[in-house]
Amino acid sequence: MEYEDKAGRPSKPPSPKQNVRKNLDFEPLSTTALILEDRPANLPAKPADEAQKHRQQYEEMVVQAKKRELKEAQRRKRQLEERCRLEESIGNAALTWNNEILPNWETMWCSRKVRDLWWQGIPPSVRGKVWSLAIGNELNITHELFDICLARAKERWRSLSTGGSELENEDASFPAADREASLELIKLDISRTFPNLCIFQQGGPYHDMLHSILGAYTCYRPDVGYVQGMSFIAAVLILNLDTEDAFIAFSNLLNKPCQMAFFRVDHGLMLTYFAAFEVFFEENLPKLFAHFKKNNLTPDIYLIDWIFTLYSKSLPLDLACRIWDVFCRDGEEFLFRTALGVLKLFEDILTKMDFIHMAQLLTRLPDHLPAEEFFACIATIQMQSRNKKWAQVLAALQKDSRETEKGSPPPRH
Amino acid sequence: MAKQYDVLFRLLLIGDSGVGKTCLLCRFTDNEFHSSHISTIGVDFKMKTIEVDGIKVRIQIWDTAGQERYQTITKQYYRRAQGIFLVYDISSERSYQHIMKWVSDVDEYAPEGVQKILIGNKADEEQKRQVGREQGQQLAKEYGMDFYETSACTNLNIKESFTRLTELVLQAHRKELDGVRTRASNEMALAELEEDESKPEGPANSSKTCWC
């Protein structure tokens, strides 16, 4: 059979596939798998007309594939142009921030122009600086204080690893066992902070920085200690600031009322925040609000993760940084406005879901969110309820809860 | 039969940070194992429908953050659960010691009749073991719970333990539905009663039964 097949041809004929290939100036990638192979030797030869037909079909496929790849190439070119434009605008924005805004921070930061530019996202090159300025340093933390706290933390790690107890009597209100647990938890959590980035884990370039900041903080604020969620905040700061400044920003950020309420797990105050959130939820998205109520989906279920980590765990990192940008500008209310933005973005889907599907969607947001659409959703959220702003609504609710507390013992949950 | 499931239960995973609650859950629902998980903040959710004794049970599983500080928050979820996994890590004596605290929280905050099961996870880490198997059994016996040593890593006893807790919840639930007034502890009596009702596929009456 084999010899019969080859008999009619000149010796060593090129295979049909080589024939076809010769006619092409380039080989479309997607067709490599389609190339006609020689028929297995144990099968009868193809009739000539069938072989011709197959060759033709193959060439047609190649032409189609070529068209598709040309289209793809054009799309990529457009994408590249788009990226260049974006980079240019980021470059321009960075210039504006560096040359105009940062030197005149005090007078300019609350101007309309700056606020608008701010909303577009702070260029990564100045992001850390802007965050530092916006967060401020109410606590007057110096680099020296950081060094002192870090030295104490290191001492503790040492005494822990050698099993010594010379520090036992210090901070009597925070038992050694708790401290030990907390230091171990830091170690555990560092390995679980943005694990897919592989930069904070043992051996990674930012591992020691993250460890230092969290350790120093537990010495600086033993009354707060280490609470899960903090590692994400510190990690995002580390990506934008050097260690000392990251520590200063970290401590000041956690000192803000909303963060303090959450990280100290002041449950009453957290409930007040949730209640305030629900006021604006109902105002902005009444239908969805009713749907959530009906399904008993309370805000704590999705808000806790978002607020504790300032969205850094639940949103893609670049998007989370843009949320942080505006959070630095607008304060805590922006965290809740962002939450409503998420709900608005997914409103149509959520309305059709039951409890578990909603809870799953909100506690694990899709990996890719359309950034512009998302920010457009956030922009539509009004943080005004019956002429009251966020802070006023929150203050009123806080007053109410204090009064009920005084009037009757707090309800046991 | 149009419905995807016959009955819905909520199960809760609690235990110290890092004992592997999320890993257990991922192994059970997605048959996946990742050694480096992201920490759970607050609560996470998964869902799976399994068939136990011919009944399609949809289980919602609430996976909670383990740090003590978060317990003020996670306690709020106990009352919404019908079944609770108490998880410790066999390579951490401390996580085992803490089970007592977790149990007392459950007693305080969970609804009466909530079903509990004790899990000693990371059974594959034999060389790091700090808690003996019999210690786990002993503790489970003290509290009247079933006990499994599991490994999310090697997929040991994962399906078995989730199915067992579901069975227990189903039993408790059925009793309620059938209006059988039997003490929860009196399992034999319950099983007999249900046999009397001639349910050919009634729930298994012995803790040794595994649904595989």
Ordered by start, the domain boundaries in chain B are 7-185
Is A25 part of any domain? no
Is A272 part of any domain? yes
User: Do A111 and A143 fall within a single domain?
Assistant: no
B37 Cβ under 8 Å from any chain A Cβ: yes
Q: What is the pLDDT of residue B119?
A: 98
B75 Cβ under 8 Å from any chain A Cβ: yes
> A399 vs chain B: nearest CA distance in angstroms?
22
User: Do A197 and A263 fall within a single domain?
Assistant: yes
User: Which of A182, A227, A313, A356 would best serve as a mutation to test chain B binding (most B beta carbons within 10 A)?
Assistant: A356
User: Do A114 and A52 fall within a single domain?
Assistant: yes
Q: Which residues of B touch A305 (CB under 8 A)?
A: 41-42
Asked whether the predicted pLDDT for residue B192 surpasses 50, the reply is no
B67 Cβ under 8 Å from any chain A Cβ: yes
> A211 vs chain B: nearest CA distance in angstroms?
16
A360 vs B47, B73, B76: nearest CB: B47
Q: What is the pLDDT of residue A405?
A: 77
Give the residue-averaged pLDDT of B45-62: 93
Q: What is the pLDDT of residue A74?
A: 93
Q: What is the pLDDT of residue A163?
A: 65
Indicate left, alpha or beta for A102 from its phi (over 0: left) and psi (-120 to 50: alpha).
alpha
Per DSSP, B53 falls in state T
Query: Residue A276 and residue A394: Cα distance in Å, rounded?
Result: 6
- Structure confidence by residue, pLDDT tens digits, A118-174: 999 999 999 999 999 999 999 999 999 999 999 999 998 888 777 655 444 444 455
User: Do A264 and A183 fall within a single domain?
Assistant: yes
> A356 vs chain B: nearest CA distance in angstroms?
7
User: Do A218 and A80 fall within a single domain?
Assistant: no
User: Do A281 and A358 fall within a single domain?
Assistant: yes
User: Cβ contact (<8 Å) for B18 and A188?
Assistant: yes
Number of domains in chain A: 2
User: Do A254 and A109 fall within a single domain?
Assistant: no
Asked whether the predicted pLDDT for residue B210 surpasses 50, the reply is no
Query: Residue A394 and residue A240: Cα distance in Å, rounded?
Result: 31
Asked whether the predicted pLDDT for residue B182 surpasses 60, the reply is no
A192 vs B36, B60, B72: nearest CB: B36
A390-407 and A267-284 helices, crossing angle to 10°: 130
Residue A84 belongs to domain spanning: 48-120
Asked whether the predicted pLDDT for residue A40 surpasses 60, the reply is yes
User: The domain spanning residue A79 has which CATH number?
Assistant: 1.10.10.750
Query: Residue A344 and residue A362: Cα distance in Å, rounded?
Result: 12
User: The domain spanning residue A349 has which CATH number?
Assistant: 1.10.472.80
Is A128 part of any domain? no
Is A362 part of any domain? yes
Question: What is the ipTM score, two decimals?
Answer: 0.81
User: Do A106 and A144 fall within a single domain?
Assistant: no
Is A11 part of any domain? no
Residue of chain A with shortest Cα separation from B9: A356
Tokens representing A351 are 């309305």
Q: Which residues of B touch A356 (CB under 8 A)?
A: 45, 47, 60
User: Do A152 and A89 fall within a single domain?
Assistant: no
Query: What's the predicted TM-score (pTM) here?
Result: 0.80
Q: What is the pLDDT of residue B173?
A: 83
User: Do A312 and A207 fall within a single domain?
Assistant: yes
Q: Which of residues 100-159 of A touch B (CB under 8 A)?
A: none
Distance between start and end Cα atoms, chain B: 23
B44 vs A194, A195, A363: nearest CB: A363
Give the residue-averaged pLDDT of A71-95: 91
Domain B7-185 belongs to what topology? Answer: Rossmann fold (3.40.50)
Q: What is the pLDDT of residue A391?
A: 96
Q: What is the pLDDT of residue A47?
A: 84
